[in-house]
Amino acid sequence: MQTNAERPLLMLAYGFRPFFLLAGIYGTLAVAVWTAAYVGALPLPRTFSPMLWHGHEMLFGFTAAVLSGFLMTAIPNWTQSSPVSGGRLAALVALWFAGRLAFLMSDFLPAVVTAAVDLALIPTLAVMATAPIFAMRQKHNYFFPALLAAFFVADLLIHLEAMGLTAATAESGLYLAMYVVAMFLSLISGRIVPNFTAGALRMRGENVEARISMPLELSIVALMIAVAVADLVFDSAAAGGALALVVAGLLAFRMLKWNTGKILDTPLLWVLHLGVLWLATGFACLGLADLTGFVAKSTAFHALTIGAGGTMALGVMTRASLGHTGRPFVLAKPIPAAYILISLAAVTRVFAPAIMPSAYQAFIVAAGLMWAAAFAIFAIVYWPVLTGPRADGKPG
């Protein structure tokens, strides 16, 4: 039986354990705080605008925790290397905590101190997590350290404006970060969703192979980069909008090969397909925002972040946490409800205000509460999974 003294050591055995738990807890708290601040019930730091604080913490707090947990678990599998654990993992977790505290206390810290503390996580993660990729010369995985570098630049743009060294770069930093997250989602989903789906169907006796087209995967990411460049460098709504619609179409086309209709009875799989559908929806909304103005750009980005990011985060964390702790892929009963809550939050934030603009504030609050509830369910249900020993008795 695990003792209380062994629990902290177990939490540092693999990156997914602390970071997925932190993502669940912070995904709940950060949105709950933001929702309370939105209705005037809580103050937020004045160094950054409320919208900037919210966007930054969801990207570089919540999303960074999810990415840290995923990369520090997946890369050792891809490279057959030892995972970062123990003191090195504890140091990375401490950097994540320090960044959250620095941003929260930014009113009382010099801007350069806030920046230095907050910016430390991503390059440290890149060095720790992706070193095996370079050691093994896995060129097909070089995208991941490159995207982490772009994610760091996005955070840097926010802090440069806060330090008074640039003008009007913070919003561009947020947008760049969202594009980078979309690229992560595309690359990761293109790899895991068809494989997981085909594997499950083979377990049912079907003769199915994972259909992954690397030219298509690379084309989608290249076009996402082009959308970001058109938007952030050339400020070309026409080019960015047209390219975004092409990305949406390719993401939808990619799903045609994934046997989505055959796994609708399996929440652990349909949630991943739903996340990719939200990714396509987000780029479709982005295209409409740029070309017609019918959809607000912030609405499109919320389709990407709440819909695609939130759904994929829950789907990946719930599955990976089971698999890497030696448990069968059987979901606890509350988890499908969490999946549904995330999509309801996205629908409420993205589409409901257009239908009933007079209830805009109520929809924002409702979406925030549903998001917080979904990740609270995850944190509560998966606490014993992430803090306890493997079910099969193996280390890790």
Q: Cα separation of 265 and 216, whole Å?
A: 28
Per the CB < 8 A criterion, the answer to whether 345 and 306 are in contact is yes
Using left for φ > 0, alpha for ψ between -120 and 50, and beta otherwise, residue 40 falls in left
Q: Is residue 393 part of a domain?
A: no
- Angle between helix 64-79 and 311-323 (nearest 10): 40
Is the overall model pTM greater than 0.75, yes or no? yes
Token match 């057959």: residue?
80
Q: Is residue 394 part of a domain?
A: no
Q: Cα separation of 287 and 281, whole Å?
A: 10
Q: Is residue 282 part of a domain?
A: yes
Q: Is residue 396 part of a domain?
A: no
Number of folded domains that form the chain = 1
Q: Is 366 exposed, middle or buried (0-12, 13-18, 19+ CB in 10 A)?
A: middle
pLDDT tens by residue, the chain, 396 residues: 455 545 558 899 999 999 999 999 999 999 999 999 999 999 999 999 999 999 999 999 999 999 999 999 999 999 999 999 999 999 999 999 999 999 999 999 999 999 999 999 999 999 999 999 999 999 999 999 999 999 999 999 999 999 999 999 999 999 999 999 999 999 999 999 999 999 999 999 998 888 899 999 999 999 999 999 999 999 999 999 999 999 999 999 999 999 999 999 999 999 999 999 999 999 999 999 999 998 999 999 999 999 999 999 999 999 999 999 999 999 999 999 999 999 999 999 999 999 999 999 999 999 999 999 999 999 999 999 999 999 998 887
Instruction: Give the other-Cβ count within 10 Å of 30's Cβ.
Output: 22
- SS3 percent helix, strand, coil of the chain, rounded to 5, is 80, 0, 20
> Of 315, 307, 312, nearest to 370 (Cα)?
307
Q: Is residue 392 part of a domain?
A: no
| Residues in contact with 172: Cβ distance below 8 Å, sequence separation at least 6, in sequence order | 157, 232
Q: Which amino acid is at 334?
A: P
Q: Is residue 267 part of a domain?
A: yes
Range of the structural domain that residue 186 is part of: 6-387
Q: Which amino acid is at 45?
A: P
Dig out the tokens for 35 from the structure. 């929702």
Per the CB < 8 A criterion, the answer to whether 59 and 177 are in contact is yes
Per the CB < 8 A criterion, the answer to whether 30 and 57 are in contact is yes
Distance separating the N- and C-terminal Cα atoms of the chain = 15
* Residue 6 confidence (pLDDT): 53
Residue 203 maps to which CATH number? 1.20.210.10
DSSP, res 167: S
